[in-house]
A = this chain, B = another copy of it.
Amino acid sequence: LLSEAQRERFDVILVRPRNPLNIGAAARAMANFGFMQLNVVAPYEPSWREARSAVGAGKVLQNASVFSTLAEALGRGTLAVATSALTHRRAEQRVIRLPALAPYVNAEFECGGRPAIVFGSEKRGLTREDLSRCHLLVEIPTDSRQPSMNLGQAVAVCLYELVRPANNGPETEGPLTPTVQTPVDSGMLDRLEEVIDRTMTTTGYSQRITAAANRHNLHLLLRRLRFQAADARRALGFFRRILWQLEDRDR
């Protein structure tokens, strides 16, 4: 999980992007995850103009830097991470999978470095020459039947991985229940149980031979469901109403 200051010292580099919508999408993902520095290498000029002048282009695009080569764009960078979909090509540098990336980036910041992540063009990805300027090749774990990601989506997924809080402490939360409410106490459950049991009898849902089993199931169910106090109060009111109406009929 990168700090805000770290995100500002992290370069996102797009090499030869062609599609203005993808450029815009990449910039938007950066803003979504708090990254500021976009470096664009040799963009297709009309696309770059269009992306930059788009409505809502935002600060990231306004402040982007354009370079003619990847070498220049990497300038101050100390760790260049290339991205790729799963590929059978023989990589010439260390390959890691995306979920393993964050520790490398953190370590780089810790020793005063400036990491960068590099995305290739939509059609061709990064060339061998581009890759040779990178320290690490990170693979996004895509399906082998459809490995190639859209550029904007690839940027979003990689940046998410870098800001994603680790989730490895044991979850302290229990099963699905909202956090702030008051659990129901046993006395309340007993009252609810009693009125439901009477309703089962009054309606004929419980017959003589099934009554005990139904009551037992009801016991178990009410405890398993983890009612909150407010739920139980409502349910109690509702069943009293039902019972009152049914008994009214019988009078």
Binding site for B on A (CB under 8 A): 21, 25, 28-29, 31-34, 58, 85, 93-94, 96-100, 103-104, 135-136, 140-143, 145-150, 152-153, 156-157, 160-161, 163-168, 170-179, 199-200, 202-205, 217, 221, 224-227, 231, 234, 237-238, 241-242, 245-246, 249
Contact = CB atoms under 8 A, between A and B. Distances in A.
A97 B226 CA distance: 23
Given A32-B140, A141-B160, A150-B152, 19 more contacts: A29-B153, A31-B143, A31-B145, A32-B148, A33-B142, A94-B176, A99-B164, A99-B166, A99-B167, A150-B156, A153-B156, A160-B160, A160-B161, A170-B173, A173-B175, A203-B238, A205-B238, A217-B234, A246-B246
Contact of A28 (B97, B153, B156, B176): B153
Contacts of A146: 28, 31-32, 58
B149 A32 contact: yes
Contact of A178 (B94, B145, B152, B165): B94
Chain A contact surface mostly: mixed
Contacts of A157: 156-157, 160
8 contacts: A29-B153, A32-B140, A94-B177, A94-B178, A135-B176, A141-B160, A150-B152, A242-B242
A32 B14 CA distance: 21
